[in-house]
Structure 1
Amino acid sequence: GRLVIQADETGEAHQLKFDEGALWRELGITGDDGEILDTAQLQSAQDAVFKIEGLTIARSSNKIDDVIEGVTFTLQGEGETVIDIKRDEAAVLDAVRKFVEQYNSTMSFIQSRSSDGGVLQGDTLLMRIAFQLRSDITARVDGAGLAYNQLAAVGISIDRHGTMTLNEAKLREALADDPEAVQKLFAATQDADGFDGVTARLESRFQAWLQAGDGLLAARQKMFGDRMKAIDDSIEQMERRLEIREQNLMRQFIALEEVMAAFQTQAMWLEGQINQLNLMTAASAQRRR
């Protein structure tokens, strides 16, 4: 068998190093100076060195993903090649379709909850969210000189019923005409481009809605929680009052039973007295005859 030792990572910075112990010398891996022997080394640690547009670049791995933005390529060996970068139009169209579907799904959810019969019928917060969402979608993007500064210009529109639709032919036309402008319309950010595209604008809006503690939805949730607690407290107080009332009624009932029992005893005594009086009266009348 043969002992093979290799580093966990590639690149010149990860060259294997051995101490000057006798074990490595006896195994024929290092010499007296502690350096790896050429006869023991199958492959020395090296960086991948290549040129792009005349610029020499070195990387520790053959997989390169930080030279051309959004592009990853793998070095296979020595030689020259031409990198032909094309836009993946199918992926762009699919992403926009999903965006449209998600918008319609969200608006449908809001409508089902806030319309007649919904659990939040007439809730002003939901109506406000729907209005702001639609406004952010349809508003212009403030990019100076941007060829396409509104979703309607690239085939995305909202009808009078609030449903978003996609004209794919118009989107393809915009992508062919100025793909960078379309990209910025959706994905521009204040830090990188000096203005926010549609997705950054929506993200900012969602953060304001969903922020824990003082976000719009958190505040509404707290309001409902406070109301529920107030109702629970009111129910608890009412239950205590009912319990006290029940106890009072029970005492009155017991007292009434005692009075009724005493009254019944008195009535029986009185009835006996009346009967006795009647007998005495009848006997007296007979003697007079």
Structure 2
Amino acid sequence: MQVNRFAGLASGMDTESIIKDLMRAERYPLDRLVQKKQVLEWQRDSYRDVNKLLTAFSDLTFDGVFRQATFLKKTVSSSNDSAVSAKAINPSGNVSTQIEVSQLATSEVWVSADDPQFTSGERTLTFNVTKPGESEPTEVKIEISANDTLGDVIKRFNSSNFGVTIFEDRVGEKSHLVMTMNATGVGAKIEVVADEDGSNSTKDFMEKLGFKFNNGVLENGPKGKEGKNAKFTINGYETERTSNVFTINGIEYTLKNTTEGKPVTISTANDTDFIFDTVVKFVDEYNKLIADLNGRLQEKVYRDFKPLTEEQREDMSEKQIEMWEEKAKSGMLRNDSIISGGLNQMRLDLYSTVELADGTKLHLADFGITSSKDYLERGKLEVNEDKLREAIANDPNKLYELFNGTPGTTKTSFEKQGIAARLRASIKSVTTNIEARAGNNLRTNHQFTLGRNLIDVDKQIDRMQERLKRLEESYWRQFTAMEKAVQQANQQSAYLMQQFGGF
């Protein structure tokens, strides 16, 4: 209902200011509800920040100390890196290998006769291509457009799945095409495929370019070369490969030159630095995590600093608002039971014995990782670097078992679980409980506790705003009625004065 408002025209009163002051007192409960809503939103956001921290640490644990590959990491050295280099892929243990290289693998090369004769025109070239080391050919089709030049055709070959590289070699007035199989080794074979009508347009096209065929099989030509396998002796055993790069027992070897009868020694060792750095990073990130969580649990609550109302914000600078809200947001998760319970469980996860399948019992302290003696640091881990490096050099697998238990066994009991497995399970439990209370970006407010509280507060705010609207309209009606009455009285007074003035 629209209220006709007369702001002190008759009475001379500042009606609008009076009603504003009256409503300010009435709005106090609404301000409290708005502040309550803001606190709930801050709590929700604080919980979600904690979940992000926990998830990030769990992911780091999974990608680091949870993976067996971390503790199998090897360094590889070569006595002659210019002849043979190597890197560890997935070795089962440390090795020392003697390798002699008598021949490097080379690619098959086909060379055309001089001065290829190129005829433009739209066509489809069809080949059966057998690459070195393969027993079955692969059909390859190359589409040539009507306006393609010889250079365009070369680009189409090179960008296709043909597996070759072609270039035109021009010397003076003469030129020829050189086609090289990208893969090295013996056994490369290129055959042309006849058309459905029995003709062979592919063979005709290639012959015009200067290539020769024997029963449909491309010949190398006088200047071409057959591919060769790499030949080498490893620990006294003679063998060969189609490629100069191959893997044996988890070590990837790269042959670069022949060794001229001088063996090259390839040795592996535990990558102590990598394993050490991974464990130290785990410790550092754990320390950062618990420092952050402990800080939130102990954060001071400033009860005199409530969320600011819009009216209060209008009277403050941005810097004042920032400083105020810093205190208002403080202590959102002080003494929170979910977080404190999670921290206690994580400490238990770390310091409890890990029992292996053979009965061996492992502790963090066995590897130089202990809890800080300063109780104010609340469970911060410290690393004895010398002891940790020694443990890694002696048996990195034991360190892996500390974090993950015995590989291949059913981990049904807490004692047989490794530290990393325990931590990730505990973190999962905490994040699940937090999501039940504070949700996540994929949940609606109906699906978590604080969200439902926010819905209830929003409903109260709506009801309060409607009540205040009606109350304000009521005040305006009353003051408007008063103004009309005053105006009428003034009119009557003026009339009487006019009448009396006639006598």
Give the TM-score normalised by structure 1: 0.73
Q: Which moved more, 1:33-42 or 1:106-115?
A: 33-42
Note the aligned Cα RMSD (angstroms): 3.7
| Cα distance change of structure 1 residues 239 and 183 upon mapping to structure 2, 3 Å threshold | same
Pick from 111, 115, 128: which aligns with 2:298? 115
Q: How far apart, in 1, do the equivalents of 2:388 and 2:405 lie?
A: 18
Q: Tell me: higher relative CO, structure 1 or 2? Use CA pairs within 8 A at least 6 residues apart.
A: 2
Residues 257-276 of structure 1 aligned to structure 2 (within 5 Å): 257-265=483-491
Q: How far apart, in 1, do the equivalents of 2:399 and 2:215 lie?
A: 62
Alignment partner, residue 3 of structure 1: 177
Alignment partner, residue 284 of structure 1: none
Give how far 1:272 is off: 8.6
Q: How far apart, in 2, do the equivalents of 1:35 and 1:136 lie?
A: 68
Correspondence 1:151 to 2:364? yes
Give how far 1:106 is off: 0.7
Identity of aligned residues (%): 27
| Cα distance change of structure 1 residues 130 and 247 upon mapping to structure 2, 3 Å threshold | same
Residues 1-289 of structure 1 aligned to structure 2 (within 5 Å): 1=169, 2-7=176-181, 15=188, 17-20=190-193, 21-39=203-221, 41-44=224-227, 61-64=243-246, 67-69=248-250, 71-76=251-256, 81-117=264-300, 118-145=331-358, 147=360, 149-159=362-372, 160=375, 161-188=378-405, 192-195=408-411, 196-210=417-431, 215-222=432-439, 223-265=449-491
In the alignment, structure 2 segments of 5+ residues that lack a partner are 1-168, 170-175, 194-202, 301-330, 412-416, 440-448
State the one-letter code of the partner of 2:424. E
Q: How far apart, in 2, do the equivalents of 1:99 and 1:266 lie?
A: 90
Q: How far apart, in 2, do the equivalents of 1:18 and 1:29 lie?
A: 12
Q: How far apart, in 2, do the equivalents of 1:171 and 1:56 lie?
A: 42
The secondary structure found in structure 2 opposite 1:120 is coil
The secondary structure found in structure 2 opposite 1:42 is coil
Q: How far apart, in 1, do the equivalents of 2:405 and 2:183 lie?
A: 36
| Cα distance change of structure 1 residues 147 and 182 upon mapping to structure 2, 3 Å threshold | farther
- Over alpha carbons, which structure has the higher Rg? 1
Give how far 1:49 is off: 7.7
Give how far 1:83 is off: 3.6
Give how far 1:16 is off: 5.5
Pick the structure with more strand per residue: 2
State the one-letter code of the partner of 2:483. E
Q: Which moved more, 1:242-251 or 1:22-31?
A: 22-31
Q: How far apart, in 2, do the equivalents of 1:95 and 1:125 lie?
A: 29
The secondary structure found in structure 2 opposite 1:86 is strand
Is the 1:6–1:16 Cα contact (8 Å) retained in structure 2? Answer: no
In the alignment, structure 1 segments of 5+ residues that lack a partner are 280-289
Q: How far apart, in 2, do the equivalents of 1:237 and 1:45 lie?
A: 87
Q: How far apart, in 2, do the equivalents of 1:259 and 1:23 lie?
A: 109
Give how far 1:81 is off: 5.0
Is the 2:246–2:252 Cα contact (8 Å) retained in structure 1? Answer: yes
